């Protein structure tokens, strides 16, 4: 199960605060993804990156930002513009960039608002 | 818009019975259909997938069937066991094949 690590496991955000979720992989995968998981809504794509220094918006990118300065790292910032940030956040990676690639998920970060 | 619908949202079966979860998709160009299993408190993991050039694929007690004409695919679990209890997600490519869209998940509970 190793290879893709998310931290922290739990995170609390105060109103108006930006917080950053970490995602690191040592699988030498090209593509990385961020999903948000809410009860009854499945996994919704926030952002994805297919190559270093490039990323694309997913279905629910508003209020979030990402960077991909290194192949191994794809941090997600939840900004104060995200009005309903409480959710379980999952990072994933895949060897290639095609949609038929197997996704490897991290163990997730539970973000809550204080 | 392009989406993936999954039913039922919850499913309860007796141990040893079969379970079937169904998904429909809208993008006729979709050609890859994976199923992920997420046990309580754990990360999702791929359990089986099917490509559009076949109609069925089996792996021990699990199987996936695909009907491209009707745009639906199903997960079949036979001889269910308590360890099959989990949330199952289907997925399909959307957005011209640039991204994978997940269904809303099915909570399967296998009762003793």
- pLDDT for the residue A99: 83
Contact flag B43-A105 (C-beta cutoff 8 Å): yes
- pLDDT for the residue A15: 85
- pLDDT for the residue B98: 72
A5: phi then psi, degrees, rounded to nearest 5:
-120, 130
Q: How confident is the model at residue A2 (pLDDT cuts 50, 70, 90)?
A: low
Q: Is the pLDDT of residue A108 over 80?
A: yes
- pLDDT for the residue A1: 47
Report the percentage of chain B scoring pLDDT > 90: 80
CB proximity B103 to A under 8 Å: yes
Contact flag B99-A58 (C-beta cutoff 8 Å): yes
The residue that leads in pLDDT, B100 or B75, is: B75
**Across B98-107, average pLDDT:** 91
CA distance B99 to chain A (A): 6
Q: How confident is the model at residue A66 (pLDDT cuts 50, 70, 90)?
A: very high
CA distance A15 to chain B (A): 27
Give which of B44, B45, B89, B94 to mutate to test A binding, by max A Cβ within 10 Å: B44
**How many whole angstroms separate alpha carbon A18 and alpha carbon A5?**
21
B8-40 tens-digit pLDDT: 999 999 999 999 999 999 988 888 999 999 999
The residue that leads in pLDDT, B95 or B102, is: B102
**How many whole angstroms separate alpha carbon A99 and alpha carbon A45?**
13
Q: How confident is the model at residue A112 (pLDDT cuts 50, 70, 90)?
A: very high
- pLDDT for the residue B1: 53
**How many whole angstroms separate alpha carbon B59 and alpha carbon B95?**
29
Calculate the alpha carbon distances from A58 to A67, B4, B42, B54, B56 in Å: 14, 15, 23, 29, 30
- pLDDT for the residue A94: 94
CB proximity A41 to B under 8 Å: yes
DSSP assignment of A3-55: TEEEE-SEEEE-TT--EEEEEEE-S--SEEEEEEE-TTS-EEEEEEEEETTEE
A40-52 tens-digit pLDDT: 888 999 999 999 9
Contact flag A42-B46 (C-beta cutoff 8 Å): no
- pLDDT for the residue A41: 83
Q: Which of residues 53-92 of A touch B (CB under 8 A)?
A: 56, 58-59, 90
């Amino acid at each position: 199960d190793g290879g893709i690590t998310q931290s922290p496991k739990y995170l609390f955000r105060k109103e108006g605060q930006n917080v950053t979720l970490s995602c690191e992989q040592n699988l030498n995968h090209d593509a990385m993804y961020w999903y948000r998981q809410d009860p009854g809504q499945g996994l919704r794509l926030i952002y994805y990156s297919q190559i270093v220094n490039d990323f694309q918006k997913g279905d629910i990118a508003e209020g979030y930002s990402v960077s991909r300065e290194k192949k191994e790292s794809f941090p997600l910032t939840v900004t104060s513009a995200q009005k309903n940030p409480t959710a379980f956040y999952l990072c994933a990676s895949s060897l290639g960039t095609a949609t038929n690639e197997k996704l490897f998920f991290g163990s997730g970060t539970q973000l809550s608002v204080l | 818009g392009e989406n993936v619908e999954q039913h039922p949202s919850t499913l309860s079966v007796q141990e040893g019975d079969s379970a079937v979860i169904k998904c429909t998709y809208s993008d006729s160009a979709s050609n890859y259909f994976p199923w992920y299993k997420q046990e309580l408190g754990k990360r999702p993991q791929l359990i089986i997938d099917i490509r559009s050039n076949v109609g069925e694929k089996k792996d021990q007690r699990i199987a996936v069937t695909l009907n491209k004409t009707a745009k639906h695919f199903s997960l079949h679990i036979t001889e269910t066991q308590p360890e099959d209890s989990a949330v199952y997600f289907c997925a399909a490519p959307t957005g011209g094949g640039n991204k994978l869209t997940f269904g809303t998940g099915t909570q399967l509970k296998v009762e003793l």
